[in-house]
Amino acid sequence: MGIKSLQDYLESQCSSACVSVDLLKIARGFVPKRRGRHGGSSRFCLVVDAESCLDRLYGGYYSDWVCGGQWNRMTSFLTNLVQACHNANMELIVFFNGGLETERLSDWFADQINQKKKVHSILRHLHNKGTPPPKVWWMPPVFLKGSLRMALRHLNVTVACSMDDHFQEVIGFCREHNLQGIIAQEPVYAIFDPPRYFSSNNLKLTYKGSLETKEYIMDEIAKCLDLNPNRFCVFAALLGNHVLPEEDMYDFFREQLNNCRGSDGKPLKISPENVILAVVTFVRQLPATDDLDIIGDLVFKNAKGNKNDLILKFKQSVQYYLNGTHEGFLKYKPRPSVSTDGQLGGYPRPDVQQKPQDVGGYINTLNPNAPDILSNNTSKNILNGLDDGLESRLAGLSLTDNRNSHPGAGDASVPLMSTYNNISKSKKPTGPKLPTVTPEIIRIASERHQKGLMCSWIYQLLSQGELKLPVVLEDDTNRELPSYIDLYRPIRQTVYSVLFNLNKTKIIHETSDKDKGDGKCFDIPVKEWVIRRGTTRPSFELVIAKPVDWKTPSIERMWLGQNADDKNRRLRAFLTCMQSDSPLMFNTNYVPQPLLVMCCVLRYIVQFGRVLQRQELDAFLAMAVSPLLVDVQTMQDLKLPAIHPRGIQLASLFMSGVETAIFANDVCGAPIPWSMSCPWLFFDGKLFHFKLLKANNNTPLIDMCDGQVDQVLRVERMRQAILENIRAEFAKPLLPASMYNPYSQAPYQGYPPFPQGGPINYRPAGAPRMPYGRGGYPHPLIGGQPGYSPSSPPQRSPGRGRGLLGRSPVDARGGQLEIAGVVVGSWGANVSGQRRGGRSGGPSPQIMSVGGPRRGYLPNRPIRGRPSMYAARGYRPQYYEYYENQRGYDFYEGPPAPRGYPRMTRPVRRPAIKYRARAAKGKPAKHTTKGRGVTVDVSNDENGAADDEGAAAEDIVGITEDTIGVFSDADEATGAINKFSSEDTFDKPGEAAGAQFNDLA
């Protein structure tokens, strides 16, 4: 409920006030009006609330966002959007939320809890299906805001960033510069009544060259609600917001719903729609809205809490909305700031193009005429142009928390803020204070923050000593990968010490108080607001800054120094914070400048511990050097066969490291230019997942690099620089999922699920050896996988072909290659201890057939080129022994097979073979010992006696009816039969038949 429910109510119940429009068509017909403090721009200018349309600026709800972000595709979309707006005489000013907004901390916590639920749903979906999640679970990829700021800056789009209250500053910027409207999706703007209000959720750039969305007509909204616009502020305050929470309004809601009756005559239930209707009716019936004390006394007459405090909150809430309206805009005064280039409030002018600059430090880009504070430590002359309030704030700046909390506690509860802008009115903190910051540093940080040129964490730390770490796409129940909060905390601790001059402070203390022996502690505490597993309320963790080993220059020197040594010290300080201060990292032949941020992040992850696997490191590097990184169309058409949860978590972990590296780079004075640290230069989530699938498939590096030797060379050099002078401990690959079978049925039935996981030489402790049938899989009659039968062909491995993911490993069982039923190739098994002749009892060779899985396959007859089940010499299937030893009866006399399988019966004795010499036409046959033309024929007389020396051939031989062997003469046939019958002894006629026929054929 609350004010957030008003937006959905307006779209559903006030449909006549939502009109579809084409922004480009409106911009083409725009006629500028010269009015206001600033004349305004000749273009049709709109303020875009970036927090409301992150998905629209990213490019839409396409499914590849889950892989970590496709930054080149996002840049391509923004280029088309900006070009279309420019051609239609339209300009966009994108406004980001850069304030800490501690008074809205409870709202931030509720949003993060919802994001965490989305993360769990996304990971569960990926584990179960392996496909991209639906768009209803969309959440911004890691570092999306920073990437958007860089991309818009690259396209010369005006970017602004709020400092205190985001909504007030957006509407104030729109009114101050006489802009034409706002694109957002927040009901607060409907109460502020901007010039024009457009929907960001419905914003769509079409192929026909139109920018379509919906416009909210405020007059129509007033008619639908049947409420005077002058009463909108009272109406919004009674719905509840961050000043007057909904919990305090519950009794009032219950009372108004009891007065409203439904169609059945019963009181209405509490729901967002019913609450809005009841509050609108109450405000409509008020005789007047001038005296807020009378309205407050009427609203809170049955309140359980302190009535006076509730009335005060109500009056402050109404005033908050009045400050955003056109009448109350002149009374609203945002936090003053000083601009060195003549721009009001430090924000960029809409009609002034921002020129990107890549120089080191910050003095040349903002204030070239600033006094040299490096030689003059006094800052009185710097504060001459500031008003008294700002001077007093900067002179005695204290960066600790202004709320009632114990800094020594690691988890503190945050009460709901009862007043707007309560920070400046609270009492002084009692805990340890952060060092005082030079006013010039505050000035530079404020200006760059407002223009979106610096990481927003820096100004939050300098002004309040806190920052908020949002929820990202990671599994908090998985112990294989650490949380990004813990992984990059040592980097943040080092950056805190550089930002607050911890080394300089300790050196000054050691020099001045060396003889006193004062054991003063110089710990710099910083509050990090995080969302942990099981968190039920907003909580922070107190982090202490850690100094670096060498004497880093002061923050003034790194930000304002312009000597050659200062530039080298900036880069060294950055590499020190990233724990990447090694010689090869400075060598551009090994690490190119656009890839320095990526290599620093990977080097830090490798040093942290067993996080990355070796092939995953190669996947990151192969992605960065691939030409597909900049091929937007090819990456858009690429279809991933599957999405693995570990891949998306690695991508989120890596992009969190990139965000931390950009933060460290800005604190150290930007030794790496912003144009060389853009994420689309070295990362694409979809391409990384594609390379990772190849790497996990044991693909060689040359195949991962698409056969390009130059890419392999670049990968090897960057890997050498990353692993230089460190002891890398790579994570070991996990066992496949089939190894974790619960074995629910005794005795260990169905381990492991071979058709899914492939044949694995693994069995649980204490379990008997699994009998194998055809193709190396368990026999269906002995604990095999359900649904498998001898009549169905065994599942085959993918083989060695070059597919989408490269070369597949060769099956270790050996096998044969068939084309149209003919064996054209074979290879032996790669199993230790494998004996020749097929007597080892291991898995049978795999048959690879070309032309369909069942082409020419008949279960009741042997396939050409493949021996039959009983054809091998001395072959005795293992399931014979299983039935005899385990079941207690002979296999031939055992019970029938389970239902659905062919019956295993006793082999049928085939007719004996009687040979005779071929006789000439008209002459009796004669026995000859030499010559050709001896014919072996089939006779039904099993006990017939031979008339010559071939009488030994009357032994029973199991052979198929359509097989005929031809010998050169009778002596060869007789000798061969006598040889095998005298040397070999067989238990069953089938074995003898199989052995003899195997040699005779």
Is the per-residue pLDDT at 796 higher than 80?
A: no
Place of tokens 């009687």: 914
Q: How crowded is the C-beta side of 396, counted as CA atoms within 13 Å?
A: 5
| pLDDT at res. 563 | 87
In angstroms, the CA 482 to CA 479 distance is 7
The answer to whether 466 and 529 have CB atoms below 8 angstroms apart is: yes
pLDDT band at 437 (very low <50, low <70, confident <90, very high): confident
Q: Among the listed ranges 368-377, 517-526, 885-894, which one has the minimum average pLDDT value?
A: 368-377
163-183, pLDDT tens digit by residue? 999 999 999 999 999 999 999
Model pLDDT, residue 347: 72
Instruction: Write down the pLDDT at residue 218.
Output: 92
Name the pLDDT band for 471 (thresholds 50, 70, 90): very high
Q: Nearest 5°: phi and psi at 379?
A: -120, 15
Amino acid identity of residue 909, one-letter, is R
* Radius of gyration of the chain from its Cα atoms, rounded to whole angstroms: 40
What is the pLDDT confidence band of residue 233, given thresholds at 50, 70 and 90? very high
What residue has token string 């610096």?
A: 454
717's CB contacts (< 8 A; 6+ apart) are: 589, 590, 591
User: In percent, how much of the chain has pLDDT > 70?
Assistant: 62
Q: Residue 986: what pLDDT?
A: 45
pLDDT band of residue 490 (cuts 50, 70, 90) is very high
pLDDT of 925 reads: 52
**Mean pLDDT across 238-253:** 92
265 pLDDT exceeds 80?
A: no
Predicted confidence (pLDDT) at residue 10 exceeds the cutoff of 80:
yes
User: Which phi and psi (to 5°) does residue 955 adopt?
Assistant: -60, 150
Question: Per-residue confidence at 990, pLDDT binned at 50, 70, 90?
Answer: very low
Among 228-242, 694-708, 901-915, the minimum mean pLDDT is found in 901-915
Distance separating alpha carbons of residues 709 and 820, to the nearest angstrom: 39
Say which amino acid occupies 714: R
Q: Nearest CA to 280 among 256, 263, 303?
A: 256
The pLDDT value given to residue 513: 60
**pLDDT at 845 (0 to 100):** 58
Cα-based distances in Å from 622 to 42, 69, 358, 715, 891: 48, 17, 28, 6, 57
Q: For residue 218, what are its two tokens?
A: 């405020």
- What is the per-residue DSSP string for 331-345? T--PPP---TTS-GG
Q: Is 395 helix (H, G, I), strand (E, B) or coil?
A: helix
* HSE of 544, CA atoms in CB hemisphere, 13 A: 10
Which of the four pLDDT bands, split at 50, 70 and 90, describes residue 847? low
State which of 142-146, 289-293, 826-830, 997-1001 shows the largest mean pLDDT.
142-146
Bridge-based pairing state of the strands 211-216 and 204-205: antiparallel
Check residues 839 and 534 and name the one with the higher pLDDT.
Answer: 534
User: Taking 60 as the threshold, does the pLDDT of residue 820 lie above it?
Assistant: yes
The mean of the pLDDT values for the chain is: 75
Most confidently modeled of 351-365, 724-738, 823-837, 951-965?
724-738
d(CA 416, CA 390): 27
Lowest mean pLDDT among 387-401, 453-467, 549-563, 770-784: 387-401
Buried b (16+ CB within 10 A) or exposed e, 497-512: bbbbbbbbbeeeeeee
DSSP state of 267: B
How far is Cα 798 from Cα 990, in angstroms, rounded to an integer?
35
Residue 935, SS3? strand
Distance from C-alpha of 941 to C-alpha of 770, rounded to nearest angstrom: 43
Q: What tens digit of pLDDT does each residue of 574-623 get?
A: 999 999 999 999 999 999 999 999 999 999 999 998 999 999 999 999 99
Least confident span in 6-20, 520-534, 826-840: 826-840
Query: What local confidence, expressed as pLDDT, does residue 183 receive?
Result: 97
pLDDT value for 681 = 96
Higher pLDDT, 771 or 525: 525
Query: Pick the residue with more confidence: 406 or 464?
Result: 464
Task: Give the pLDDT band (50/70/90) at residue 978.
Answer: low
Distance, in Å, from the CA atom of 868 to the CA atom of 860, rounded to the nearest integer, reads 10
Flag the least confident range among 232-241, 324-333, 505-514, 982-991.
982-991
pLDDT given for residue 885 in this prediction: 56
Query: Which helix (H) or strand (E) covers residue 718, if one does?
Result: helix 709-722
Confidence of residue 759 (pLDDT cuts 50, 70, 90): very low
Q: What is the dihedral of CA 119, 123, 125, 130, to 10 degrees?
A: 140
The Cβ of residue 184 has, within 10 Å, a number of other Cβ atoms equal to 28
Distances (CA, A) of 548 to 496, 514, 661: 11, 21, 16
pLDDT at position 564 is 85
3-state secondary structure of 107: helix
For residue 442, give both structure tokens.
């505050």
pLDDT in tens, 931-949: 444 444 444 444 444 444 4
| Cβ atoms of residues 490 and 577 within 8 Å | no
The pLDDT tens digits for 408-430 are 333 333 332 333 333 333 334 43
Residue 686 has pLDDT above 80, yes or no: yes
Whether the CB-CB separation of 279 and 256 falls below 8 Å is answered with yes
Which tens digits make up the pLDDT trace of 119-171? 999 999 999 998 999 989 999 999 999 999 999 999 999 999 999 999 999 99
> Torsion angle of alpha carbons 779, 785, 790, 792, nearest 10°?
-160
Residue 562 pLDDT level (bands cut at 50, 70, 90): confident
Q: What pLDDT sits at residue 32?
A: 82
Distance, CA of 142 to CA of 473 (rounded, Å): 8
Of 5-19, 170-184, 603-617, 755-769, least confident by mean pLDDT is 755-769
The Cα–Cα gap between 380 and 387 comes to: 13
DSSP secondary structure, 278-319, as one string: HHHHHHHT-S-SS-HHHHHHHHTTT-SS-HHHHHHHHHHHHH
> Which comes out higher in pLDDT, residue 552 or 357?
552
Q: Label residue 549 by pLDDT band (50, 70, 90).
A: confident
With 0-12 / 13-18 / 19 or more C-beta atoms within 10 angstroms meaning exposed / middle / buried, residue 452 is buried
Please check the confidence at residue 761 and state whether its pLDDT lies above 60.
no
Contact between 233 and 288 under an 8 Å Cβ cutoff? The reply is no
Q: What is the mean pLDDT of residues 461-472?
A: 95
Residues with Cβ within 8 Å of 766's Cβ and at least 6 positions away in sequence, in order, are: none
| Distance from C-alpha of 56 to C-alpha of 200, rounded to nearest angstrom | 7
- Supply the pLDDT for residue 661: 98
Among the ranges given (251-260, 744-753, 963-972), the one the predictor scored with the smallest mean pLDDT:
744-753
How many other β-carbons are positioned within 10 Å of the β-carbon of residue 50?
27
Residue 153: what pLDDT? 95
Q: 339 with 168: CB under 8 angstroms?
A: no
What value does the mean pLDDT take over residues 294-321? 92
Write the DSSP string, 962-979: T---EESSHHHHHHHHHH
Looking at residue 923, its amino acid is: K
Query: Whole-model pTM?
Result: 0.71
Contact 389, 397 (CB under 8 A): no
**Where is average pLDDT lowest: 343-347, 498-502, 702-706, 784-788?**
784-788
Which whole number is the average pLDDT over 762-769?
45
Under the banding of pLDDT at 50, 70 and 90, the label for residue 985 is very low
pLDDT value of position 398: 33
Closest CA to 229 of 192, 198, 256: 192
Q: What percent of the chain has pLDDT over 90?
A: 49
- pLDDT recorded at residue 525: 92
Strands (E), 806-902: 806-807, 815-819, 822-827, 846-850
3-state secondary structure string across 202-226: CCEECCCCCEEEEEECHHHHHHHHC
Question: In whole angstroms, how far apart are CA 491 and each of 435, 496, 543, 608, 656?
Answer: 20, 9, 12, 11, 12
pLDDT band at 232 (very low <50, low <70, confident <90, very high): very high
The token pair that represents 837 in the structure block = 């002749």
Return the pLDDT at 387: 36
**Which pLDDT score is estimated for 93?**
96
| Cα torsion angle, 408, 414, 418, 423, sign | positive
Distance CA 741, CA 762 (A): 11
**Beta-bridge partners for 92:** 46
What pLDDT, on the 0 to 100 scale, is given for residue 453? 94
